[in-house]
Amino acid sequence: MKIKLFVIFLFIVKAELLLAQCEVKNTAFKAGEIVTYSAAYNWGFIWVDAGRVSFKVFEQDFNGQNAYYFKSTGTTLKKYDWIYKVRDVFEAWADTETLKPLKAIRNTSEGDYKVLDIYHFDHNQKKIYANTSNSKKKPQKDTLKLGKCTFDLLTAIYFARNIRFENYKPNDKIPISFVIDNEIFNLKIKFLGKETITTKDNRTFRCLKFTPELVAGTIFDEKSDMTVWVTDDKNRLPVLVEAKVLVGYVKALLISTEGLRYPLSSEVK
């Protein structure tokens, strides 16, 4: 199981923002927020709770400007490390006023496959300067075109939480753009409307529901699908994700929150 998936889906599902303006005033989150998910994998006929994914928000100085520092980590539980050990870290810095990406780092270790990608975003020159390496290729430097609405994965998640969902209707398809693996991907997601769900830990939420277009490769094939439920409140947090991958099925479930800007008013008590 690849914990990287749970960072990617959390970006993809929320990237409907790219139909709107590319600069927003943040009203959805604040520094000090911590959100944690369990990562479960379908092993034959049973679901195995095999990992944890966390997202944290800080404020930092970035070359003299105020910035949010986002950090996401994904790990397998130690008792499953012998099967497939995962230690993933994603970091990103974004302008606090506009949420434009400034820098992003992916440092992942999954089994014997390791990746270190570093991206610097130059909005004046409209370029992304990439330094990438992994276990299968030598380090390389590239320059990619920075589109008006192109983001790294983590910045896109937090940017998207400020979208006005009331501007969309069921079955709207919304374009997205993000950089990963030294490539710019332009995909679409479909907004499916609202739905109330009850998770396996007996929590009930009013949600917004999506299905994203996926990138075929080491995790997904062309027939893979994914469904995501996001809280229908001012926090806009993913609650549940279900996805078919090359070797089975995976799920991510919200298990804890700390330092949210608003109460989880979408949870039905």
Distance in angstroms (rounded) separating the CA atoms of residues 75 and 268: 30
pLDDT at 20 over 70: no
Let me know how long the chain is: 269
Q: Averaging pLDDT over each range in 120-124, 170-174, 187-191, which range is the top one?
A: 120-124
SS3 of residue 215 by DSSP: coil
Percent of the chain residues topping a pLDDT of 70: 84
Whether the CB-CB separation of 241 and 228 falls below 8 Å is answered with yes
pLDDT at 24 over 60: yes
Q: Identify the pLDDT of residue 216.
A: 52
Torsion sign, CA atoms 177, 178, 180, 182: positive
pLDDT at 105 over 90: yes
> Higher model confidence: residue 227 or residue 145?
145
* Domain segments of the chain as ranges: 4-268
Q: Identify the pLDDT of residue 147.
A: 85
Measured in degrees and rounded to the nearest 5, phi and psi for residue 18 equal -70, -5
| Residue 52 pLDDT grade (very low, low, confident, very high; cuts 50, 70, 90) | very high
CA angle in degrees (0–180, nearest 5) for 93-2-35: 45
SS3 of residue 236 by DSSP: coil
Distance in angstroms (rounded) separating the CA atoms of residues 252 and 6: 7
Provide the 8-state DSSP code for 9: H
The tokens 């995909």 sit on which residue? Answer: 187
| Residue 45 pLDDT grade (very low, low, confident, very high; cuts 50, 70, 90) | confident
Helix (H) or strand (E) holding 160: helix 153-160
CA angle in degrees (0–180, nearest 5) for 21-24-28: 130
> Higher model confidence: residue 84 or residue 205?
205
Distance in angstroms (rounded) separating the CA atoms of residues 147 and 239: 30
Per-residue tokens: 147: 């589109």
Mean pLDDT of 139-168: 84
Distance in angstroms (rounded) separating the CA atoms of residues 64 and 76: 37
Mean pLDDT of 248-254: 84
Q: Identify the pLDDT of residue 245.
A: 62
| Closest to 210 in 3D by CA, of 224, 194, 234, 196 | 194
Q: Identify the pLDDT of residue 21.
A: 54
Q: Name residues whose C-beta falls within 8 Å of residue 37's C-beta, 6 or more positions apart in sequence.
A: 6, 52, 53, 54, 238, 252, 253, 254, 255
Q: Identify the pLDDT of residue 175.
A: 73
pLDDT at 231 over 90: yes
Whole-number mean pLDDT of the chain? 83
Q: Identify the pLDDT of residue 153.
A: 83
| Closest to 212 in 3D by CA, of 246, 184, 172 | 172
SS3 of residue 166 by DSSP: helix
Distance in angstroms (rounded) separating the CA atoms of residues 226 and 239: 14
| Closest to 69 in 3D by CA, of 103, 108, 24, 37 | 103
Q: Identify the pLDDT of residue 213.
A: 67
pTM of the model: 0.85
| Residue 197 pLDDT grade (very low, low, confident, very high; cuts 50, 70, 90) | very high
Q: How far is CA 263 from CA 6, 121, 241, 255, in A?
A: 24, 34, 21, 15
Q: Identify the pLDDT of residue 67.
A: 97
